[in-house]
C-alpha cells in the first residue's frame, strides 16, 4: 500500500499518491512509522553503522601502527641482524630473535607432523566410512576440542602429558630412533616434543573440520565413478575424494599452522622457556609467543621492550600471511573453480 505520508522517490515502482483518504491521517499511521525520524534518521543510522565498519579497519591499522612504532628502537639498533643472531642477553642489551623463530617453527612443524595424518583420518572416517548416526556426535566431539581454552590445555599438558612423555614415550623414542639425533639427551618431558604434541591436539579440530568441509564439496559422481570402475572403498577415497580435495586440505593444514604459530599459553607452560637452539626435540626451547608471555611484563629498559614488540610484529606478519594463503586455498575448492587440471 502506498503511503502518502512518506514519499520515497528513490524507490522503483509506483510512487505514493496523496489522495483518497479513508480515515483520518493519524489513524492510518502505524506506531512504527510515528516513532521513526525519517530521512534524517536514515542518515544518522548509516553514518553510525559505517563508523562501526570503519572501526574494524581502524583497529587493524592501530595494531600495525602500535607494533611498528614501538619496535622502531630495536629495528634501528639491530636491523635485519635481529632475525639472524641468537644471543638474547637483556643485561647487555643484545637481542637476536633466532632461537624464538627456530622454536616457533620447530614446535609448529612437530605439531603438523602429528596432527595432519590424525585430522585427515578423522575427516575421512566421518565423511566416507562411518554410519550416519555416528557422524554428528564424532564431529561434535572433535570440535569440542576447539572450545577448550589454551590455558587448560597447558595445565593438562603440564601435569599429565609431560610425565607421560618423560616416563614412557621419550625413553622409547630414544631407544628406537635415538640414532637420528632428534630424540637424544635427558628426557625431562618438558621441551619441544611436549610443546609440539599439545599444539597438535589443539590444531586437530581446525584441520579436520576444514578437511571434512572440502571433502563434502567433492561431487558425489566422482565417488560413484570410482566405485563403478571397480575401486575398493579406500581407492575411491584416495582417487575420487582426497585427490580432488587436495588444495582445500592443504589450505586447512596451513590454517592449522597459523593457529600453531601464534599459540601462547599451552606452549609456554611445557616448552621449558630457554632461548637455545638444540637439535634434539627433548631439549627445552622458546617460541616467539612464549617469550612475549614470559618476559614482556617484566622487561626493563626501552630496548628490551622494543625488541619484544618487534618479535610481536614479526609474529603478526607471519600469521597474517599464513592465514591469507590458507583462506585463498580453501576458497579455491569450496567456491567452485576446480583448482585442478591434472587429477
Site for another protein in 272-291 (CB under 8 A): 289
| Nearest approach, Cβ of residue 203 and another protein (Å) | 11
By CB under 8 A, the residues from 154 to 213 that bind another protein are: 154-156, 158-160, 201, 204, 208
- 155-175 burial by CB neighbour count: b if 16+ within 10 A, else e? ebbbeebbeebbeebbeebbe
Candidates 61-69, 186-194, 219-227, 239-247 — which segment interacts with another protein by CB under 8 A?
Answer: 61-69
Separation between Cα atoms, residue 83 and residue 310, nearest integer Å: 10
Instruction: State which of positions 70-129 bind another protein (CB under 8 A).
Output: 70, 117-122, 124-126, 129
Under 8 Å between Cβ of 199 and 265: no
Question: What minimum distance in Å lies between the beta carbon of 176 and another protein?
Answer: 19
C-alpha dihedral, 141 to 146 to 148 to 149, nearest 10°? 180
212 to 251: interface string for another protein, x by CB under 8 A = ------------------x-xxxx-x--------------
Minimum separation from the CB atom of position 132 to another protein (A):
15
| Alpha-carbon torsion, ordered 329, 335, 341, 343, to 10 deg | 80
Cell numbers for 237, please give them. Answer: 577415497
Residues 320, 328, 340, 343: which binds another protein (CB under 8 A)? 320
Among 19, 26, 56, 91, binds another protein (CB under 8 A): 56
| Integer Cα distance of 3 and 13 in angstroms | 13
Q: What are phi and psi of 77, to 5 degrees?
A: -75, -40
Residue numbers 7-36 binding another protein by CB under 8 A: 8, 11, 16, 30, 32-33, 36
Minimal distance, residue 80 CB to another protein, in Å: 21
Q: Which of 24, 133, 220, 297 binds another protein (CB under 8 A)?
A: 297
Q: Does 44 bind another protein (CB under 8 A)?
A: yes
Output 42 or 279, the one with its CB closest to another protein. 42
Ramachandran assignment for 214, one of left (phi > 0), alpha (psi -120 to 50 degrees), beta (any other) = alpha
Helices vs. strands in the chain: H and E counts, helices first: 15, 2
Amino acid at each position: 500500500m502506498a503511503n502518502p505520508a512518506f514519499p520515497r522517490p528513490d524507490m522503483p515502482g509506483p510512487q505514493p499518491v496523496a489522495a483518497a483518504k479513508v480515515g483520518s491521517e493519524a489513524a492510518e499511521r502505524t506506531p512504527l512509522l510515528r516513532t521513526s525520524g525519517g530521512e534524517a534518521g536514515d542518515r544518522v543510522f548509516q553514518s553510525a553503522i559505517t563508523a562501526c565498519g570503519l572501526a574494524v579497519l581502524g583497529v587493524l591499522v592501530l595494531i600495525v601502527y602500535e607494533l611498528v612504532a614501538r619496535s622502531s628502537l630495536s629495528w634501528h639498533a639491530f636491523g635485519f641482524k635481529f632475525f639472524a643472531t641468537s644471543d638474547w642477553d637483556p643485561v647487555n642489551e643484545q637481542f637476536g630473535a633466532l632461537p624464538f623463530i627456530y622454536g616457533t617453527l620447530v614446535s609448529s612443524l612437530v605439531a603438523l607432523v602429528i596432527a595432519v595424518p590424525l585430522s585427515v583420518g578423522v575427516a575421512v572416517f566421518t565423511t566416507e566410512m562411518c554410519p550416519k548416526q555416528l557422524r554428528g556426535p564424532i564431529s561434535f566431539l572433535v570440535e569440542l576440542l576447539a572450545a577448550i581454552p589454551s590455558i587448560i590445555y597447558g595445565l593438562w599438558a603440564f601435569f599429565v602429558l609431560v610425565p607421560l612423555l618423560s616416563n614412557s614415550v621419550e625413553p622409547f623414542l630414544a631407544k628406537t630412533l635415538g640414532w637420528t639425533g632428534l630424540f637424544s639427551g635427558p628426557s625431562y618431558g618438558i621441551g619441544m616434543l611436549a610443546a609440539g604434541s599439545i599444539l597438535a591436539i589443539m590444531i586437530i579440530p581446525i584441520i579436520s573440520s576444514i578437511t571434512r568441509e572440502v571433502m563434502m564439496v567433492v561431487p558425489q559422481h566422482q565417488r560413484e565413478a570410482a566405485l563403478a570402475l571397480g575401486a575398493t572403498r579406500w581407492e575411491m577415497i584416495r582417487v575420487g575424494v582426497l585427490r580432488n580435495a587436495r588444495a582445500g586440505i592443504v589450505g586447512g593444514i596451513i590454517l592449522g599452522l597459523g593457529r600453531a604459530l601464534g599459540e601462547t599459553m599451552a606452549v609456554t607452560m611445557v616448552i621449558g622457556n630457554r632461548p637455545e637452539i638444540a637439535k634434539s626435540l627433548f631439549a627445552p626451547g622458546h617460541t616467539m609467543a612464549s617469550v612475549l608471555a614470559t618476559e614482556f611484563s617484566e622487561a626493563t629498559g626501552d630496548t628490551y621492550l622494543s625488541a619484544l614488540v618487534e618479535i610481536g610484529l614479526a609474529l603478526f606478519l607471519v600469521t597474517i600471511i599464513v592465514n591469507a594463503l590458507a583462506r585463498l586455498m580453501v576458497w579455491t575448492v569450496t567456491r567452485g573453480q576446480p583448482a585442478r587440471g591434472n587429477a
